Chain A
Amino acid sequence: MSKKPLSFQLDLSKFKKATEEEKTQTVQMRESTTFWKDGFNRLKKNKVAMLCLTIIVIIIIIAIFVPIFWPYSYDQMLGVKQGVGVDGSYNNLAPFQFGATELQLKAQGKFVMPHIFGTDAQGRDYFIRVIYGTRISLFVGIFASIIVLIIGLIYGSISGYFGGKVDLIMMRIVDIIYSLPDMLIIILLSVVFKQVLTPFIKGTFLAKLGVGMISIYIVFALLYWVSMARLVRGEILTLKQNEYVLAARSIGAKPSYIIRKHLLPNSMSVIIISTMLQVPSAIFTESFLSFLGLGVNIPMPSLGSLASDALNGINSYSYRLVIPAVMIWLIVLSFNLFGDGIRDAFDPKLRK
């Protein structure tokens, strides 16, 4: 085939076929990634968040499992034995010290579980009390957040979806609750609930939990959902402008279906982040109330009440204050930082 000098016609003989290896180089094969996978990958790279997650998991595991096999219980006064008088040698033991009868057992060569943090003024093992207090605090934090989540989700999505007058009235109520100083109202309600509820729950398992605890939950259910409701409403307001919502509505889907299937799943990341950050705030509130003596029932410990009790013996037994204080701080800090980490990983608005 002749070739004209200025023609752009390609000379095929100058080309050769690509080998298999060369072919694979040009193909861009990347694992397909979903929203969640993407977020988790980002989260895994965040060292601080992973450290906090580790701390949280360790604390939760200890709080759940240690009380099961630990030989002492949180309300067992070690110096008090049936039929025998009170053995004072068990009260106010320093860490790793033993009571009189325990020393005898040790002398016989038997193993006695040491009191890692000593005992308190009533001869109760302080280590297990701290662990149990942690368990109570975590329990309050997580369940209160779930209550807040459920109420806020329902309220916010109804208000956001229907809009108009419904939204206006519902949001005015939120505004009012929002501007109440929560701590004062909580104190007020706890004081009253303590009186009102006590006769109702006598004898049930709720009585063991204590009126203070129940009133904390009621108060959370009454007051703390407002910021969650605002958040959900805002999300729904923007999401409902989307075409797929219009499409769903045009084929006759019910509002509850659209909210459940379309709107809530799409606002999930924001909701999860906010719930994570709710946990430390609930723990904080619980310890504050327990510190005031409005939280858990005696003898059940919580980190706040342990710290408050320790203030009485601050001169000689200062470690009893430091231990629960560090514990509260560690839990609140870890949850906060982990929540921040989740937000950085999942919040679409922060994407770079």
Chain B
Amino acid sequence: MNKKMLNYILKRFLLALFTIWIVITITFFIMHAVPGGPFLSEKAASPETTAALQAKYGLDKPILEQYFNYLSGVIKFDFGPSLKYKGITVTELIVTGFKTSAFIGGIAALIAILIGVFLGSIAAVNHKTKLDQAIMFFSTAFVALPSFITASILLLVFCVKLQWFPANGLTTKGLILPIISLSLSPMSYITRLTRSSTLDVMGQDYIRTAKAKGVNYWVIIFKHSLRNALTPVITYIGPMLASVLTGSLVVEKIFTVAGIGKYFVSSIVNRDYMMIMGTTIFLTTIVIIMLFLTDIMYKIVNPRVDLE
């Protein structure tokens, strides 16, 4: 870890912080640009009730004061009260929901990486055989499949028709299908990525040298080739987690999993602005942190990349 590297990490970290701040600011002001403010949904409410509600949530104060209050709240991980679920704070809802979502998303990402890398290297090693073609066919077909479509079809086949799985994600068994539907598309993408980069690396001189030295076949694949072939996969981890997290919003709705997506989708329908703001900021922050870590990791595993 040299000085240049530390410098890069610091710069990248500041950019991430700045981005998070931008997101908070934009989210706040956009939400307050909505005519009538967050209480638009309660049309039946009399002016007095609305005024009382606004006073209660501090919405009668000048906008800048509200902004700084909200900002200092967010720093303390306090996203204010939920407007729909009375008496519960947004933070509580996020924490409850995110435990499940992180579990599903994490497992899905892990499966996608492990199986994707495995299938990709198998396809590359057996280049231009039937096995390679079969793997490529399925990964091409699945990579274009949006997770909500996969989820709907899986629900239809395995829950409704075959009835192998429960149609709700309340039990552990019910979480299997959501995980599969989230992992299928990134898995196919990683398969393709690993295959092409492995093919690329296999043509390099040092692989030929290793073969000429008589190094064991599997040692070449795992130690010489895969290590270098995995760098593109690492750059994909950040965007993948972002897509798995957002995809999980809908997949959770389809399988009625009590994750963050369930609350988020219902908050959209109910116009629960505090909840929408809180969830957006929370998930965005996570995604930005993931992208930051991915970038750093990429630089560490691939020293050839120019730091400028």
Contact = CB atoms under 8 A, between A and B. Distances in A.
A175 interface: yes
Interface in B115-154: 140-141, 143-146, 148-149, 152-153
Contacts of B16: 179
A315 B159 CA distance: 10
Contact of A188 (B15, B27, B35, B148): B27
Contacts of A332: 144-146
- Determine the interface band of chain B, counting residues with CB < 8 A from chain A: 35 or more
Interface string A165-184: 00000001001100111011
B283 interface: yes
Contacts of B291: 179
A191 B19 contact: no
A101 to B, nearest CB: 33
Size class of A's contact patch? 35 or more
Interface in A192-209: 192, 195-196, 199
Contacts of A55: none
Contacts of A172: 15
B250 A196 contact: no
B40 interface: yes
Interface string A308-335: 0011001100100110010011001100
A288 B287 CA distance: 19
A78 interface: no
A292 to B, nearest CB: 6
A172 B160 CA distance: 49
Query: Interface SS of chain A: helix, strand, loop or mixed?
Result: helix
Given A192-B33, A280-B144, A325-B149, A176 B268 contact: no
A196 B144 CA distance: 34
Contacts of B31: 188, 192
Given A181-B284, A192-B34, A196-B33, A329 B144 contact: yes
Interface of A: 172, 175-176, 179-181, 183-185, 187-189, 191-192, 195-196, 199, 280, 284, 287-288, 291-294, 304, 307, 310-311, 314-315, 318, 321-322, 325, 328-329, 332-333, 336-337
Given A195-B34, A288-B146, A310-B152, 13 more contacts: A179-B291, A181-B242, A188-B27, A191-B276, A192-B33, A192-B34, A284-B146, A288-B148, A292-B249, A315-B160, A321-B152, A325-B149, A333-B140
